[in-house]
Amino acid sequence: MIEFKNVTKTYHSASRGRPVAALTDINLKIDDGETVFFVGPSGAGKTTMMRLITRMETPTSGSLKVNGTDLRRIRPRKIPEFRSQFGVEFQDCKLFPKYNVYENVAFAMRVLGMPNRIIKERVPRVLTAMGILHRAKHFPDQLSGGEKQRAALARALVNNPKILIADEPTAGLDPKMSKNVLDLLVSLGNSQKHKRTVIIITHEQALASEYGKRLIRFENGKIAEDTGRAEK
């Protein structure tokens, strides 16, 4: 369970003087196994939500708990273990340009110290599931937009995370490919086997609302709409 209570996040940047209120007084609960869309205009605070949940940032005030861990109290040496439950597809740093697809995905396993034997077995499996095994030896600049997004998703998924967060996974894709990628993400959340929480951050509100999942709309650092837990 992810639980925000009266969370405010203000960024203080030394160079630009005035503090920026990215999120104000957020109250939100997301249950294990839920699939949730975060939508809303640019600058609304969506990526900041992701950065708070994964403890890349800490709240300025309020309380935030993720699976029982109080993120304002967590000890620094416990943070790597805490992060290992997440798979994140980042908005602006998707793939390493100098690695091929296989190595991009394998990297996420190597940083956790996984043995090569398991990497060799698991990377092809996740590339197959994403439909890009035939691109394993290609470099990012040799891929189509959709293939890049799916390779980045493969990397986020390869460690079988309890919580998957995709930040703008349809950026730069045409409508058909956007739908394919969202279908794929929603199907990952629907998998009965894993009971995985999936958070999809997207500008594409109309497309997102077609899935009948919970949709949370951010505006100006606040929750402007929350359709609530989807019917099971």
**Which residues of the shown chain bind ligand ATP in the complex (CB under 6 A)?**
11, 13, 20, 22, 40, 42-48, 91
| Closer to ligand ATP by Cβ: residue 17 or 68 | 17
CA separation for the pair 162, 180 (Å, rounded)? 22
**Element containing residue 5 per DSSP (H, E):** strand 2-11
Residue 33's binding partner out of Mg ion, ligand ATP, none, with CB under 5 to 8 Å set by partner kind: none
| Closer to ligand ATP by Cβ: residue 48 or 170 | 48
Residue 100's binding partner out of ligand ATP, Mg ion, none, with CB under 5 to 8 Å set by partner kind: none
Q: Checking DSSP bridges between strand 86-89 and strand 20-30, what pairing results, if any?
A: unpaired
Tell me which amino acid residue 230 is: A
Give, to the nearest 10 degrees, the angle between helix 145-157 and helix 175-190.
20
Residue 43's binding partner out of Mg ion, ligand ATP, none, with CB under 5 to 8 Å set by partner kind: ligand ATP
The answer to whether residues 101 and 136 touch, using CB atoms and an 8 Å cutoff, is yes
Should residue 48 be labelled a site residue for Mg ion when binding is judged by CB under 5 A? no
Q: Find the part of the chain contacting Mg ion (CB under 5 A) among 17-25, 89-97, 106-114, 211-219.
A: 89-97
Of residues 24, 36, 44, 47, which one binds Mg ion by CB under 5 A?
47
**Element containing residue 51 per DSSP (H, E):** helix 46-53
